[in-house]
């Protein structure tokens, strides 16, 4: 039977829904009774920073997948997004009638306009060594907007501690705890 609640997972370029941060989200929300929509954009290829044309292709792909899943038929949705997917998640929220909560994992600078003035953001997560968005910029933005910023020390964009698998696992467990708190 279809649930009234939907989890939508927005992967990054090199971070699929099968990797820990998004996989654990799927586990937590499925156990909480949510339907799951795992987005993908395999047809979109680029190198370096995605430009406007790439984001437009992603938006088209995301919209087709959201319509197929009947996003607007749900009473509520949680969007959990990683990196490039945070831009798509912010954009899709502007296109749906469904009540949305967001968890942004390692957002990009292009995501910030979608986050401005929003009160439906459960958490923003970033490593202090993230090279894709200056941690000081995100910290100031979140303070100004009153957003909950969860930071992981000395890790980059994937929240993994190179050479320290136990620290990586602890980081993933803390993010999973955020999901449990939200679900």
Which residues, including other chains, have CB under 8 Å from residue 29's CB and lie 6 or more apart?
Answer: 5, 7, 36, 78, 179, 183
What is the mean predicted confidence (pLDDT) over 116-120?
95
Kindly tell me if the per-residue pLDDT of 130 is higher than 60: yes
Which H or E run contains 100?
A: strand 99-105
Q: For 138-179, write each residue's pLDDT tens digit.
A: 999 999 999 999 999 999 999 999 999 999 999 999 999 999
CA distance 167 to 74: 37
Q: For 32-85, write each residue's pLDDT tens digit.
A: 999 999 999 876 776 667 778 888 889 999 999 999 999 999 999 999 999 999
Kindly tell me if the per-residue pLDDT of 117 is higher than 60: yes
Q: What is the pTM of this model?
A: 0.95
> What domains appear along the chain, each with residue ranges and CATH number?
5-182 (3.40.50.1820)
Which residues, including other chains, have CB under 8 Å from residue 133's CB and lie 6 or more apart?
Answer: 106, 107, 108, 109, 126
Region of residue 117 (left: phi > 0; alpha: psi -120 to 50; beta: else): left
**b/e string for 166-177 if b means 16 or more Cβ within 10 A?**
ebbeebbeebbe
**% residues pLDDT > 70 (the chain):** 97
In contact, 72 and 96? CB cutoff 8 Å: yes
Half-sphere exposure of residue 48: CA atoms within 13 angstroms, side-chain side = 2
Q: For 85-105, write each residue's pLDDT tens digit.
A: 999 999 999 999 999 999 999
pLDDT at 124: 98
Q: For 8-19, write each residue's pLDDT tens digit.
A: 999 998 899 999
């Amino acid at each position: 039977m279809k649930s009234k609640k939907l989890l939508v997972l927005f992967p990054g370029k090199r971070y699929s829904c099968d990797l820990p941060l998004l996989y654990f989200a799927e586990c937590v929300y499925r156990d909480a009774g949510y339907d799951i929509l795992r987005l993908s954009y395999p047809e979109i290829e680029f190198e370096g920073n995605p430009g406007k044309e790439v984001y437009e292709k992603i938006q088209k792909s995301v919209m087709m997948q959201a319509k197929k899943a009947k996003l607007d038929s749900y009473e509520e949705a949680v969007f959990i997004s990683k990196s490039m997917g945070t831009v798509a998640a912010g954009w899709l929220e502007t296109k749906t009638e469904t009540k949305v909560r967001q968890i942004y994992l390692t957002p990009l600078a292009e995501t910030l306009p979608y986050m401005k003035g929003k009160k439906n953001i459960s958490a923003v997560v970033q490593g202090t060594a993230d090279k894709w968005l200056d941690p000081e910029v995100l910290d100031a933005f979140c303070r100004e907007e009153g957003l909950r910023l969860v930071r992981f020390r000395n890790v980059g964009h994937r929240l993994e501690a190179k050479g320290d698998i136990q620290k990586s696992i602890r980081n993933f467990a803390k993010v999973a705890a955020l999901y449990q708190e939200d679900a």
